[in-house]
Amino acid sequence: MKFTKMQGLGNDFILVDSIKDDISEDLGELSRKVCDRHFGIGGDGLVLILPSREADIRMRIFNPDGSEPEMCGNAIRCFARYVYEHNIVRKKVLTVETLAGLIVPELILESEKAVSVRVDMGKPRLERGLIPMEGPEGKVVNETVAVDKEKYRVTCVSMGNPHCIIFVDDVNNVSLAQVGPSLESHPVFPKKTNVEFVQVINNQEVNMRVWERGAGETLACGTGACATGVACVLNGLTDKKIMVHLAGGDLVIEWADNGHVYMTGPAEYVFTGEY
């Protein structure tokens, strides 16, 4: 299998052109194997490039535990750059079919190189049942959830995939490896959840650490940064356009007046190989 390793803010992915090379293996099982950092290639996800009937192209992504999330923000920037520069879809603005609906990345080009990618991530889903989360109808804003004898105030946002945001005074004081798994698999989240701890610096800047569903702590999370931008506005904590600082770098997130969330950030090649 030929592959290209790419990364967006240190969130790293194994991309496979499945238009060229059809993969007949169990994809969840394949993802578990290739994402392994000791026995495989190493990555936070396996990303497949596929043909689409309703969009320019289709993306599927698998987590390191073999589960298939609806969307991945960092991966879709890598995906957009790859399909443009490999002449698979030679469009600056392209439509991508995902399990979270149509996503529209726009390449920011400098002498034909995609220096960054701005992605129209669509509208956030705020209704509890759409997160999905158990409980009465309505939005989930600053609500208490009990975990391991602690109580957390959570705001929940779906960007196609579920996110649970918790505001804290200092993200470096969070025992992510302990609380992350407990919240990820908390019974109120029937499809599990990604977990983001967020520290507001000012109206336009936040720090964020993420515990990803099916992956654990990663250096960055695109959909999580988008969900964080929305959660900040819902709680009256920041402007609608913010910079999210992550361990792997920065993303600009804007919840625009048309209701869509726009994410801008880098996408880089690491290496190509054969598995």
In the complex, the residues that contact ligand ZDR under the rule CB under 6 A are 11, 45, 63, 69, 72-74, 161, 194, 212-215, 221-224
- Smallest distance from the beta carbon of 153 to ligand ZDR, in angstroms? 22
Q: Report residue 79 as tokens.
A: 């995906």
Select 84 or 211, whichever has its Cβ closest to ligand ZDR.
211
Q: Could you tell me if 75 and 105 are in contact, meaning their C-beta atoms sit under 8 angstroms apart?
A: no
In the residue annotation, 72 being an active-site residue is answered as: yes
Annotated catalytic residue within 35, 72, 164, 226: 72
Nearer to ligand ZDR, 87 or 243 (CB): 243
SS3 141: coil
Neighbours of 252 (CB within 10 A): 17
Least distance to ligand ZDR, CB of residue 159, Å = 7
For the CB of residue 135, give the shortest distance to ligand ZDR in the complex, in Å: 20
> What would the 3-class secondary structure string for 61-107 be?
EECCCCCCCCCCHHHHHHHHHHHHHCCCCCCCECCEEECCEEEEEEE
97 close to 59: Cβ distance less than 8 angstroms: yes
- Write down the least CB distance from residue 192 to ligand ZDR, Å: 7
CB of 197 to ligand ZDR, least distance (A): 14
Q: Which residue has the tokens 């000012």?
A: 202
Tokens, residue 88: 């698979």
Q: Compare residues 73 and 145 and give the one whose CB is closer to ligand ZDR.
A: 73
78 catalytically annotated: no
Question: Residue 102: which of 82, 125, 126, 122 has the closest Cα?
Answer: 122
| Separation CA 118–CA 45 (nearest Å) | 21
The separation between CA 42 and the C-alpha centre of its own chain, rounded to angstroms, equals 18
Nearer to ligand ZDR, 128 or 163 (CB): 163
CB of 31 or CB of 74, closer to ligand ZDR = 74
Residues annotated catalytic, as ranges: 72, 221
